Chains A and B, each alone.
Chain A
Amino acid sequence: MSKLFLIARSNMRKAKGQSVAIVVLIFLASLMLNLWLMLSMDYKANFVRYHDALNAEHVTLAVDNYDAGVSEYLSDTLARDKRVDQFRLDSCMHTVGTFPYNGGMMNGEFIFMDKPTAISRSIGRSEIVEESDLSSGIYLPMLYKSDEYSVGKTIEISIGNNVVSYTVCGFFNNVMMGSHNCALTQIILTQDKYAELKTLGFASEATLCSIRLIDMSDNLNYEAAIKALVTERFHNAARMRSNCYDIVTQSRYISQMICSGVMSAMAFFVLCIAIVVIVSNIVNYIQTNIKNLGVLKSVGYTSRQLIGSLLLQLLSLTLLASLSGTGVSYCLFPAVNAMMISQTGIPYAMRFLPLPFIISLLILCFTIALTVWLCARKIKKIEPITALRSGVQTHSFKRNYVPLDKTKAPLNLALALKSALSGIKHNITVCITMLVLSLIVVFSGLMTENVIADMTPFLDLIVGETADGAVNINADFEDDFLASLDNDSRIDKIYLYSSSNISHVGGAELMATFCDDFSKVNNQGVIFQGRFPKYFNEIAIAGKYAKERGLSIGSEIEITCNGKSEKYLISGFTQITNNLGRDCLLTRQGYERLGELDNVTYYFNLSDGVDIDAFNAEIKDRFSGSVNVTINIDETVEAASGVYVRLMTIIVVAILALSALIILFVLYLLVRTMLNNKMRDYGVLKSLGFTTGQLILQTALSFMPAIVISTVVGLIIGSFIINPLIGLLLSGIGIIKCSFTVPVAFITIAGLVLIILSFCIACLLSLKIKRIAPRNLLVAE
């Protein structure tokens, strides 16, 4: 072993630069792997831990107390239901409200509770994470803790046309209602403020029902079932809001999923590049050290020992790089956590996670060991005598590429091309690296165009339909409402876009969205296959759900609601992610086959310059008795999307920086190897009169054919495969087909930057040629 260690140490000493570059690449791969594994293995598990610790519910239901019997009915129904393990009913106040957040207005379904009740509930307890001496005011979910809201600051909440102001006393964590992403957002008031709000009468008194199920996995169906029961009994679905475990975990962890997906892809890419570089290095090592290997074999070393020394060398580097990468991943994790927490809103206490560390170490060690073993097997074929006598030809000159007597290219370019065409191994390494980096560039461009610059395409994919605003009205007022807005020049477009729960007979509960005319909706990309429903007997269902159930376009399914059942033909597949892919679209006539509508929601787009809030306020004033809710979707989206924009900006900047770093190290390795291998040639060329500048130019240019071709090919292929790739990444939340705009200009410019950057790096790294003096050719006198 000590002998092998000596050889490994000698190899590392001889190629310090190469060793450092390999360490850096493995370090980056380890960093990414560890971050990805930490995010995917523990970050979401943190939610489960808090869910258990706070004995949180699996289904939450808030029903306005419009009927004295609501509470009693719920209590009786839940007590009888064998699927229910535990439940708890508490008084609360429920309203739709808004408050400024993140540069926009946060619109949400607020559940106000008094502090003693909220923190002492046996199910769905809230945990105060920041307390103060202030005795009168508000506690906000910790998600909203920011420069905007901190202890002592004031928050103004708009409820309809009224505004209430509270001093922030602290922050709390609630698993199922701690974020606007949860459908229900809990707000805790001190007892005096709660009583005051109750007196003001701005919010409806309601019953908050927290249900823990025996079989947690049934939460999505149970939510729909209990809502259906309440609706059937009290006929007023508009005054009931709910959420469930699956929906909340998904919606609170979208950024975690995106980030973890990007990390895993980057880890894979960096590892792939590290492998290519190691392969190239080992092949080059064997070629340049063929005589040394021959000597070692002639003095009795076996092939196994020589391969073992290479394994020892590279595994030592891997171990060093992995440990450093893991260490740095722990240093970076607080920053990643800070980024994530603004979306998850769940506190995360970082601790050492042995499993991600062990897994990432094993992945790296196994991959590197396998790579080394596969490449170093060539050593077995080395015959000591052959190696000592003649070495092995480092080049196989079967063809004279770019013959100087025939080419019309300038001399430096011709020599660079000659070098490029005869260095196939270098070219493969460069090509794989640049193909990967081109894909990263395409991804960055796509995210910049579709998330950072204009979030609409991303929202269309994730949220489904967006408009400037929405208004929910009683169904009996619909005709008057539309007639009164008929000639309103402020409105560009208004269309029915209302949702309600229905059941697929023999299947699951589905969220049905119905519309008069789907050609009016803003997001025509919701249907990824087939078409929107046009006739009363047509339905479009979520692609993910259809795949699970083996349904195809043209299949007939039976839907039931309000005790009535009807059959529908599937006209198309949707990819709305809001309801874990359990969605469907119906025409209005199609939905009305199942029963009457109590209330309807209209989405609208306003003309440029029309104030949405003012419009909403006016609508509420004009039709006060019949308008249930108005929403400024624009502002809500702006407030909620800020976190995604920030997250994506950080991801794009990080991966572009990482790409630059990768180019730097890969080119460093290749240029260094080339300089070492061609040291003598450079000396000869200098003695012939080539200047350092000419040789640097030739060296840098020799990498350019592979760089340019692979970058262009990578960008073109990347542009075609990036949407399917992102679709694959987001398939977990029901996205089947992604149709982001591919920003050709951005990608072209980024590709040019990539090529120019590579050229500049190659030139800089080739500066070492300056140190090669022709007198180095001088042999011993």
Chain B
Amino acid sequence: MQRQIILDVHSLSKTFSGGGRQQHVLKNIDLQLYQGDFTVIMGASGAGKSTLLYALSGMDTPSLGTITFKDKVISNLSQDGLAVFRREHCGFVFQQIYLIEGMSVMDNVLSAGLLVNKDRRAIVAKAKGLFDAVGISDEVQKKFPSQISGGEAQRVGIVRALINSPEILFADEPTGALNSKTGLDVLDTLTKFNEQGQSIVMVTHDLRSARRGNRILYLKDGVIMGECDLGKYLHGDTARHERLNSFLKEMGW
């Protein structure tokens, strides 16, 4: 079956200037992301993983090149145009979680949901459904971010990212700030949503996280050095782990 391209990237470059010199972080990248994939971007620190993620998600604009979301070019949108694009089509899960301290857990989610859907009752019901799905109780929903654990916070972050049913969920090192157990819970949650059809693009340098993806891209010095198709994630599939290990070894990981 022909897989549907959701994001099409051509000749993407990103250059940062500062201190009188230029740093080419992304170099002439061509890439297609597909509907339903759990794409993992790996690479060493400074390879440009997060820069690529932020460019793909419309958080940042490329210096050169085009990014097309379905049939719409997003790389030439204004800042406000990109904001509308993000709210309607994207969800984000950050390494630092970034819940808003002054809002309750529920309000953190609704602040994103009500931006797109004005039907308050519907969006509250949807939020509650998602909270149930990730195991956030009613009591926790009323708390403030400073009053909940890191794992709970990241799961709230995932609910917030999914509240508008985004076509793509971007995750930037979602387990980076969590301990092993809670990190695993978060990965399970992401895997579960991916199994339900949610497209995910995740940046990580954690092998355990990377194993959850079906498509692994390896970035080095701003260039995609290679990719590996791991197939659908299955718990305890050791062959898949080995495939990933050998790919990464090949890439110089």
Interface string of A679-694 (1 = CB under 8 A from B): 0110111111111110
Q: Which of A681, A688, A777 sits near B160, CB closer than 8 Å?
A: A688
Stretch of B4-12, B66-74, B113-121, B241-249 lying at the A interface: B113-121
Residues of A within 8 A of B116 (CB): 689
In Å, the complex CA distance between A400 and B140 comes to 13
Known: A681-B102, A781-B49. Contact between A688 and B60, CB under 8 A? Answer: no
B112: A residues at CB distance < 8 A: 688-689
Q: Of A405, A415, A681, A778, which is within 8 A of B101 by CB?
A: A681
Give the contacting residue for A684; candidates B85, B98, B106, B172; CB below 8 A: B98
Please, which residue of chain B has its CB at the minimum distance from the CB of A419?
Answer: B102
Residues of B96-117 at the interface with A, using a CB-CB cut-off of 8 Å, are 96, 98-104, 106-107, 110-112, 114-116
B contact residues around A394 at 8 Å (CB): 101
Encode A387-421 as 1/0 by CB contact (under 8 A) with B.
Answer: 00000011101001001110010010001001100
Known contacts being A404-B110, A418-B107, A422-B102, is A778 close to B124, with CB within 8 Å? Answer: no
Cβ of A775 under 8 Å from chain B: yes
Q: Is A553 an interface residue (CB 8 A)?
A: no
A404–B107 touching, CB < 8 Å? yes
| Interface residue A299 (Cβ < 8 Å from any Cβ of B) | no
A395 partner residues in chain B, CB cutoff 8 A: 101-102
The answer to whether A685 touches B107 (Cβ under 8 A) is no
Within 8 A of B (CB), among A729-781: 770, 773-775, 777-781
Compute how far the CA of A680 lies from the CA of B144 in the bound complex, rounded to whole angstroms. 17
Whether a CB of chain A sits under 8 angstroms from the CB of B24 is no
A691 lies within 8 A of B124 (CB): no
Q: Does B30 contact A (CB under 8 A)?
A: no
Taken together as a complex, chains A and B put the C-alpha atoms of A339 and B201 apart, in Å, by 73
Instruction: Given A691-B80, A691-B83, answer yes or no on A774-B54 (Cβ-Cβ < 8 Å).
Output: yes
**Among B92, B107, B142, contact of A687 (Cβ-Cβ < 8 Å):** B92
Chain A residues near B187: list those with CB within 8 A.
none
Q: Does B88 make an interface contact (CB < 8 A)?
A: yes
B173 to chain A, nearest CB (A): 8
Neighbouring B residues of A393 by C-beta, 8 Å: 146
The answer to whether A405 and B54 have CB atoms under 8 Å apart is: no
B115 touches which of A411, A419, A692, A778 (Cβ 8 Å): A411
Is B86 on the interface with A (CB-CB < 8 A)? yes
Query: Are B92 and A688 within 8 A (Cβ)?
Result: yes
Q: Does B228 contact A (CB under 8 A)?
A: no
CA distance A522 to B101 in the complex (A): 66
Expressed in whole angstroms, the Cα–Cα distance for A778 and B92 within the complex equals 12
Measured CB to CB, the closest approach of chain B to A386, in angstroms, equals: 15
* Interface residue B182 (Cβ < 8 Å from any Cβ of A): no
Which residues of A (132-190) have their CB < 8 Å from a CB of B?
A: none
B48 touches A781 (CB 8 A): yes
> Number of A interface residues, CB 8 Å?
36
- Cβ of A781 and Cβ of B47 under 8 Å apart? yes
Asked if B232 is at the interface (CB within 8 A of a chain A CB), the reply is no
Least CB separation from B95: chain A residue: A779
Bound Cα distance A403, B114 (Å): 12
Are B115 and A689 within 8 A (Cβ)?
A: yes
Contacts of B106 in A (CB 8 A): 403-405
Q: Of all chain A residues, which has the CB nearest B173?
A: A779
A404 to B146, CA, bound (A): 19
Q: For B144, give the chain A residue with the smallest CB separation.
A: A397
Given A395-B102, A418-B107, A680-B98, the answer on whether A687 and B50 have CB atoms closer than 8 Å is no
| Chain B residues within an 8 Å CB radius of A403 | 104, 106-107
The interface residues of chain A lying within 8 Å CB-to-CB of B124 are 405
Inter-subunit contact A689/B87 (CB<8 Å)? yes
B184 at the interface (CB under 8 A from A): no
Contact flag A415-B111 (CB < 8 Å), given A395-B102, A692-B80: yes
Residue B137 is within 8 A (CB to CB) of chain A in the complex: no
Q: How far is the CB of A683 from chain B (nearest CB, A)?
A: 8
**Cβ of B162 to closest chain A Cβ, rounded Å:** 12
Does B199 sit within 8 A of A, measured CB to CB?
no
Give which listed residue, A408, A680, A688, contacts B87 with CB less than 8 A.
A688
Tell me the complex Cα distance, A404–B142, Å.
Answer: 11
A400-B59 contact in complex given A411-B115, A781-B46, A781-B50, C-beta closer than 8 Å: no
A422 to B102, alpha carbons, bound, how many Å? Answer: 8
CA distance A766 to B94 in the complex (A): 26
A684 touches B59 (CB 8 A): no
User: Is B180 in contact with chain A by the CB < 8 A criterion?
Assistant: no
B87 proximity list for chain A (CB < 8 A): 688-690
Q: Is the CB of B46 within 8 A of A775?
A: no
Residues of B within 8 Å of A692, CB to CB, are: 79-80, 83
- Taking a contact as CB atoms under 8 Å apart, the answer to whether A411 and B54 are in contact is no
Given the contacts A393-B146, A395-B101, A411-B111, A781 and B51 also touching, CB distance less than 8 Å: yes
**Least distance between A740 CB and chain B CB atoms (Å):** 45
A687 CA to B54 CA in the complex, in Å?
10
Q: Is B130 close to A, CB under 8 A?
A: no
* Shortest CB distance B11–A (Å): 20
B45 within 8 A of partner (CB) = yes
Complex-state Cα separation, A777 to B170, whole angstroms? 14
- Contact of B84 with A691 in the complex, beta carbons under 8 Å: yes
Shortest beta-carbon distance, A645 to chain B, in Å? 51
Interface positions, chain B 1-54, Cβ under 8 Å from A, are: 45-51, 54
Contacts of A408 in B (CB 8 A): 120
A400, A422, A778: the one contacting B51 at CB < 8 Å is A778
Q: Which chain A residue lies CB-closest to B107?
A: A404
**In the bound complex, how far is the Cα of B146 from the Cα of A400, in angstroms?**
13
Question: Given contacts A405-B110, A781-B45, are A689 and B102 in contact (CB under 8 A)?
Answer: no
| Residue in chain A with minimal CB distance to B54 | A775
Instruction: Note all chain A residues with C-beta closer than 8 A to B88.
Output: 689
Rounded to whole angstroms, the CA-CA distance of A778 and B114 in the bound complex is: 25
In the bound complex, residues from chain B placing their C-beta under 8 Å from that of A422 are 102
When distances are taken between beta carbons in the complex, the residues of chain B under 8 Å from A690 are 83, 87, 115
Besides A404-B111, A691-B83, 13 other A-B contacts (C-beta < 8 A)? A400-B142, A400-B144, A405-B106, A411-B115, A681-B102, A683-B98, A686-B83, A688-B160, A692-B80, A773-B60, A774-B59, A777-B98, A778-B60
14 A–B pairs (Cβ distance < 8 Å), ordered by A? A395-B102, A400-B107, A405-B107, A415-B111, A418-B102, A683-B98, A684-B98, A688-B160, A689-B85, A689-B87, A689-B90, A691-B79, A781-B45, A781-B50
Give residues in A with beta carbon < 8 Å to B. 393-395, 397, 400, 403-405, 408, 411, 415, 418-419, 422, 680-681, 683-693, 770, 773-775, 777-781
Top-3 shortest CB links A-B: A689-B87, A404-B110, A775-B60
